[in-house]
Structure 1
Amino acid sequence: MSLKSERRGIHVDQSELLCKKGCGYYGNPAWQGFCSKCWREEYHKARQKQIQEDWELAERLQREEEEAYASSQSTQGAQSLTFSKFEEKKTNEKTRKVTTVKKFFTASSRAGAKKAQEKTPKQGQLGRERNADNILRDLKEIFTPSWELASPSEALAGKLKEIQEAKAPSPAIHRQASIETDRVSKEFIEFIRTYQKPGQDIYKQCKLFLDTMSHKRDLSIEEQSECAQDFYQNVADRLQTRWKVPPEKVEKAMDEVEKYIMTRQYKYVFCPETTDDEKKDLAVQKRIRALHWVTPQMLCVPVSEEIPEVSDMVVKAITDIIEMDSKRVPRDKLACITKCSKHIFNAIKITKNEPASADDFLPTLIYIVLKGNPPRLQSNIQYITRFCNPSRLMTGEDGYYFTNLCCAVAFIEKLDAQSLNLSQEDFDRFMTGQTSPKKQESDSFSPDVCLGVKQMCKSLDLLSQLNERQERIVSEAKKLEKDLIDWTDGITKEVEDIVEKYPLEIKPKSQALAAIDSENVENDKLPPPLQPQLHPAPTPWCS
């Protein structure tokens, strides 16, 4: 299925979702683009061709071996003819003597010897009989449903197990059975009672299938899947042809059969160790984590999460796709995918105020998968593909939504720069984490964007600016520290040079100067100094 990237987003023609054989049913990438029915037909053709080639090869090798053996026998026979006749004569005489002695003690020795000779075939005849048995066994495997094949020892072991369980049920078995398995078993028994005789036949077929599969654990997962698909087809045919059950009741019965069978087989066939499903799960999870930077605008997703109702729908869609891993029945896992898809369609309808189209659905589904990163995604897809009732995957909304999910996973695995309309350089830098896509400016927001998203973008821009400022401050601080160290070293060197050029000389302390009249001995004979005197002001004359 080719996935295209256009200006308006990711586009997949609806014709590309259908079976490439042109039957009108939905195809699946796991079946190389075929639907379940056409894939099984192609698989059986390839298998029959391989069996025919192996048969022809075996016959040719057998003829060559017989010719070589005959040639060697003729050569050896010519050389040892005389000795062989002597040995044959000696053996016959010895046998005749022994027979003569025995006939006196046994009444029917001749008849017993004759019967023994009749029961002992020649070597060539024995080989031909073994070859015939092998041929019959191979033909039986080809034309008998695989889920009915069981060796006599396996059948005997199953019968002994049933007898032992009927006589003395072990408490350990009941303790190991999960609560869900017991609940499903009770619901299945209650359901088949409404079908009366067809219900008894359904229950018998289911028990036979489970007992057969319990002895086929060593089969590959593809062979176990083929057994399950053959069983579904056989039960549906029996209900329609033998019991004349209406189609709607047949579909309902097959849903219950799948639920009963796969609840018990889940732990054996989901993500088995013999496959690389777990490795694929880790690769997809790692890929989705590396694509965390992909925005809805890059995928042209027509969903506005700023609308509260749309945001709730997106959260519900992510929850449904994650919840798929907790289910055990393929039909329940398909139901989770269907609910997720319906939430996506509702989110698109609310955003655009018009019914959603298929071209809008696939990009949004890719965005939901990238945002949710569902656990064990590949294992769940493979489990549904292998063991789901094929009629659900070929038609109906379940098959349509499941096919789109497979396309979404295939697109994520092959996502490149051209798919997102990016340059290879930007795509590589985003994938390595060197940078992230530029956020929208506040002026470029559409009027219907909520305040929370605007504030979030403003906060992110502010954090980015603060980060740049912090880096610039740290750089300037380191530069200032270096300048201070250089200035201190320069001042120290200048002081040392001056001190070396002009050394410091410390002179002795000089004596204090004496008073001018300190040497006058007659100072004490001098009169005291004059003191200022105050005279009263004269009294004015009165006339």
Structure 2
Amino acid sequence: MQSAARGPSPRVSEAELKCKNDECEFYGNAQWGGYCSKCRKIVASRAAKSESRLRHQHDSFSGHDRSGASYSSSGFSRFEEKRRQQTEKKPKMNVFKKSPSPKEPASCITLAASELEQLKQENASFFRTIDQQVEKDIAATCRSHVDKIAAVAELKSVDELEKQIQQVYKLLVNKMDAFKIYSRLSAEEKDQCLIYAENYIMTCLYTSLFCPPTTEDENKDLIIQNRIRQLSWVNAEHLECKISETEPEVRELVYSAITEILSMDSARAPNEKLSCVVRCCGAIFRLLQVAQGGPASADDFLPALIFVTLKANPPRLKSNINYISRFCNENRLVSGEAAYYFTNLCGAVSFIEGIGAKSVNLPNDEFDQYMSGKVVPVSTWDSALLMCESMRVINEQLTTLEDLEKRNGNTLSTASLLHQEILAFQDDICSKLDALVEQAPLILRPIKEPTELDSENPLTESLPPPIVPQV
């Protein structure tokens, strides 16, 4: 209880984010025991070899010490177990024979067709700049690996699947370095192709690899979610976080950060989830700059990230973090901006899990009352949300009205200009017509009446009779 009350500190140094291996310069990860992905594999491999050696020694010792009666009993037990398995297997086989499936189940590629089409459209402009054959080759390679992994996804452990996925990434890198079709691509273009391949593969395998039933991810999600609910009273002051909870611009950036970290759950590929983390942390750095009126320091970043995580309470937080840790390209999690942000997110979650009274500068009794719900403190942030929600809506409406007013002004000015152009066009046409009339005036002549020789005319009766020729 004392250690829980003491709790971790919300401020960590750059060195504390590094791998536990002092000789390694990569970022560590709380999900990996403080090691980076490379050192974690080395430590896990050594532990597996040691465990295998001890198991072999134990089996050898047990074999020499086994008596004949125990051996016979063990053999009979194995026989009974085998017969029981065969008995259970027969009804299952009969069931499958009686009710055959009329159609093959849809493949994961077919189920993810709409997401793959969207992914293809998002990268269409990129592949047009290099070569369409590259996209076709990557898609064909990804489909081949997806089919192989999907066929064994339910039979392998999550650690085995993680190794297989990481091996696929390495094979893709080697292929891009060896095949002629990729020889003209730059390092940045190859990295973009690798990101596309990762998104393609993991979009297809998302339903099989996210929160697999063989893990405790779902239970951990519920635990951390309930933990964050208990800590809903924690505010920026408790975390010594330099966030002005009543400043409108800061609140808007907090909303943006919360939106980004919540969107992590809707993304399917690990790299897309990692991008949500990067955008969330970018919004946090911007709000710190606004709150401090200058550049934000790394020491102030982690408390702000903890604050945003507590206020957002992201769904399936542990599952998303483990999904990124397992299946994102490990090279992106050991160095660079994304690795730094993700390491801080893991640190924020670890802080929330072990937060104590000393972590938030409170006496133990007061902390316990807050955690039990007996006392509900007045939260500046919650109060600001309640009081300023209407102001936020009004500000949004005012912004919309300003935009409409601006657009209306532009429309009126455009209409006035168009009216002036119409008048000028009318005057120009009239002047040209007047000049044309002066040059070629229209002369109206009398209409000639047609003469009809055979028509009856009353004036012909007064004419003399026709001359009769005489011979």
Give the TM-score category using the shorter length: 0.5 to 0.7
2:171 to 223, 234, 237: 234
Q: CA offsets per residue over residues 406-442 of structure 1, 9 Å max, x none?
A: 00000001011111111111011111111133678xx
Per the TM alignment, residue 179 of structure 1 is displaced from its structure 2 partner at its CA by 1.6
Which residue pairs with 1:13 in the alignment? 13
Which residue pairs with 2:143 in the alignment? 207
Per the TM alignment, residue 301 of structure 1 is displaced from its structure 2 partner at its CA by 1.2
Letter in 1 for 2:164: C
Q: CA offsets per residue over residues 350-379 of structure 1, 9 Å max, x none?
A: 111111111111111111111111111000
Conserved in 1, the CA contact under 8 Å of 2:238 and 2:361? yes
Which residue pairs with 1:346 in the alignment? 286
Question: What pairs with 1:460-479 in structure 2 (closer than 5 Å)?
Answer: none
2:324 to 384, 408, 422: 384
Which residue pairs with 1:216 in the alignment? 152
Question: What pairs with 1:78-227 in structure 2 (closer than 5 Å)?
Answer: 176-184=111-119, 194=130, 202-217=138-153, 218-227=155-164
Q: CA offsets per residue over residues 177-232 of structure 1, 9 Å max, x none?
A: 44213433677799778457766664454233212212212101111011101111
Q: Is 1:36 the counterpart of 2:37 in the alignment?
A: yes
SS at match of 1:296: coil
> Distance in 1 between the 2:261 and 2:50 partners?
41
Q: CA offsets per residue over residues 418-468 of structure 1, 9 Å max, x none?
A: 11111111011111111133678xxxxxxxx99957x99xxxxxxxxxxxx
The 1:50–1:241 alpha-carbon spacing in structure 2 relative to 1, beyond 3 Å, is farther
Q: Is 1:416 the counterpart of 2:326 in the alignment?
A: no
The 1:215–1:175 alpha-carbon spacing in structure 2 relative to 1, beyond 3 Å, is closer
Per the TM alignment, residue 234 of structure 1 is displaced from its structure 2 partner at its CA by 2.1
SS at match of 1:299: coil
Per the TM alignment, residue 335 of structure 1 is displaced from its structure 2 partner at its CA by 1.0
SS at match of 1:297: coil
> Distance in 2 between the 1:187 and 1:56 partners?
56
Conserved in 2, the CA contact under 8 Å of 1:316 and 1:343? yes
Q: Is 1:325 the counterpart of 2:265 in the alignment?
A: yes
Decide which moves more: 269-278 or 181-190: 181-190
2:208 to 260, 263, 268: 268
Letter in 1 for 2:334: M
Q: Is 1:285 the counterpart of 2:225 in the alignment?
A: yes
Question: What pairs with 1:252-263 in structure 2 (closer than 5 Å)?
Answer: 252-263=192-203
Q: Is 1:307 the counterpart of 2:247 in the alignment?
A: yes
Which residue pairs with 1:370 in the alignment? 310
Per the TM alignment, residue 299 of structure 1 is displaced from its structure 2 partner at its CA by 0.8
> Distance in 1 between the 2:365 and 2:5 partners?
21
Decide which moves more: 201-210 or 32-41: 201-210
Letter in 2 for 1:32: G
1:435 to 370, 375, 393: 375
The 1:51–1:206 alpha-carbon spacing in structure 2 relative to 1, beyond 3 Å, is farther
> Distance in 2 between the 1:287 and 1:304 partners?
25
The 1:372–1:20 alpha-carbon spacing in structure 2 relative to 1, beyond 3 Å, is same
Q: CA offsets per residue over residues 86-105 of structure 1, 9 Å max, x none?
A: xxxxxxxxxxxxxxxxxxxx
SS at match of 1:326: coil
> Distance in 2 between the 1:251 and 1:257 partners?
10
Conserved in 1, the CA contact under 8 Å of 2:112 and 2:203? no
Per the TM alignment, residue 43 of structure 1 is displaced from its structure 2 partner at its CA by 2.8
SS at match of 1:375: coil
> Distance in 1 between the 2:372 and 2:4 partners?
25
> Distance in 2 between the 1:220 and 1:273 partners?
10
Letter in 1 for 2:253: M
The 1:268–1:349 alpha-carbon spacing in structure 2 relative to 1, beyond 3 Å, is same
Which residue pairs with 1:122 in the alignment? none
> Distance in 1 between the 2:229 and 2:293 partners?
32
The 1:4–1:430 alpha-carbon spacing in structure 2 relative to 1, beyond 3 Å, is closer
SS at match of 1:298: coil
Q: CA offsets per residue over residues 370-394 of structure 1, 9 Å max, x none?
A: 1111111000000000000111111
Q: May I ask how many residue pairs the two structures share in their alignment?
A: 342
> Distance in 2 between the 1:52 and 1:450 partners?
59
Give the fraction of aligned pairs with identical amino acids, expressed as a percent.
39
Letter in 2 for 1:19: C
SS at match of 2:10: strand
Conserved in 1, the CA contact under 8 Å of 2:257 and 2:283? yes
SS at match of 1:10: coil
The 1:344–1:48 alpha-carbon spacing in structure 2 relative to 1, beyond 3 Å, is same
Q: CA offsets per residue over residues 279-316 of structure 1, 9 Å max, x none?
A: 00010110111111112111111011322111110111
Conserved in 1, the CA contact under 8 Å of 2:5 and 2:356? no
SS at match of 1:347: helix
> Distance in 2 between the 1:185 and 1:55 partners?
51
Per the TM alignment, residue 4 of structure 1 is displaced from its structure 2 partner at its CA by 13
Conserved in 1, the CA contact under 8 Å of 2:265 and 2:316? yes
SS at match of 2:241: coil
Conserved in 1, the CA contact under 8 Å of 2:221 and 2:319? yes
Residue segments in structure 1 that go unaligned for 5+ positions in a row: 69-168, 441-448, 457-543
Letter in 1 for 2:19: C
> Distance in 2 between the 1:230 and 1:175 partners?
24
RMSD: 3.8
> Distance in 2 between the 1:269 and 1:433 partners?
37
